[in-house]
């Protein structure tokens, strides 16, 4: 399995989107500060993931979620989590 995941920094609520074939290992690496792009924002919390059967699908999904349209989808899908007190 291949995973596309979203992490949220517990330091400043910043989101990070990534992909991996071993979600537990990769999450641990992020929280240990082994990734230079996420190290300044440790600790991280896993807030969302999707599983794909092949690598190319996970690559395509990650690229989509990082696009402006994908970011809007994430914000809609996680609206109650990201904005729990916002009245719509």
| Domain spans of the chain, in order of start | 2-82
DSSP string, the chain: -EEEEEEEETTT--EEEEEES-HHHHHHHHHTT-STTTGGG-SEEEEEEEEESSHHHHHHHHHHHHSHHHHHHHHHHTHHHHSTT---
pLDDT (tens digit, 9 = 90+) per residue, 10-52? 999 999 999 999 999 999 999 999 999 999 999 999 999 999 9
Specify the fold of 2-82. Answer: GIY-YIG endonuclease (3.40.1440)
pLDDT (tens digit, 9 = 90+) per residue, 21-31? 999 999 999 99
Q: Is the pTM of this model over 0.75?
A: yes
């Amino acid at each position: 399995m291949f995973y596309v995941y979203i992490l949220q920094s517990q330091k400043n609520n910043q989101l990070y989107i990534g992909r991996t074939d071993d979600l537990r290992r990769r999450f641990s690496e992020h929280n240990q500060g082994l990734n230079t792009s996420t190290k300044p924002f440790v600790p991280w919390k896993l807030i969302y993931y999707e599983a794909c059967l092949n690598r190319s699908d996970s690559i395509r999904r990650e690229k989509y979620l990082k696009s402006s349209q994908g970011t809007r989808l994430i914000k809609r899908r996680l609206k109650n989590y990201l904005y729990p007190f916002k009245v719509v």
